Structure 1
Amino acid sequence: MGWVTGVMVYFVVWWTVLFAVLPFGVVPEEAAERESGGWRGTPRSPAIVTKALWTTVVATAVWLVIWYLVNSDWLSFRTGWLAMPA
């Protein structure tokens, strides 16, 4: 995997993990008033920075697994155990 492909794969993995992490720990505001800028159902404390940090940690781990599988012979269509005999 080249560096450009690696960056693109990390970008896609990061956003996918972010959308998976966003719902964790969300407590909706029950009595929000529209006049004050709050809407019923908006998160009380979204903790975006914490979720971004967790997303980075998990995405890095997932990306390392993908990088290992792509660069190893274990999952190769040419030389690995999944390769078709010539």
Structure 2
Amino acid sequence: MQWTSIIAIFVLFWVMCAFVLLPFGVKTHDEMGVDKIPGQADSAPANFRPLRLVIIASVCAVLVTTLYVLNYDNGWVTVDDVNFFNPPEMP
């Protein structure tokens, strides 16, 4: 696999991990007991930490990309293994 493909796959996994991790650990102003600014949405986060999100998403994306590349090179799980619509007949 070319290194440019690995970078592209890493970016895709990073974005996916970041969006999956966004709602975890975030609390609203009402949940934290902090006063809201007039006109602020009720669902606005009070403790959003983007650096923490970037670090956790990066670690997650590195792990998932590593597994993907190793599977691509070693062929642990192939298309034939996940073919549920036309499975091969057992003898």
Scaled by the length of structure 1, the TM-score of the pair is 0.77
Residues 1:74 and 2:69 are matched in the alignment = no
Deviation of the 1:69 alpha carbon:
0.4
- With CA pairs under 8 Å and 6+ residues apart, which has the higher RCO, 1 or 2? 2
Instruction: Give distance in 2, aligned partners of 1:62 and 1:43.
Output: 28
1:28 Cα deviation from its structure 2 partner = 0.8
**Structure 2: gaps of 5 or more residues:** 82-91
Query: Number of matched residues?
Result: 78
Match of 2:41 in 1: 39
| Counterpart-to-counterpart distance in 2, 1:29 and 1:73 | 49
1:1-86 superposed matches below 5 A? 1-30=1-30, 31-34=35-38, 38-75=40-77
Gaps of at least 5 residues in structure 1 are none
TM-score (norm 2): 0.74
Give the C-alpha shift of residue 39 in structure 1: 3.0
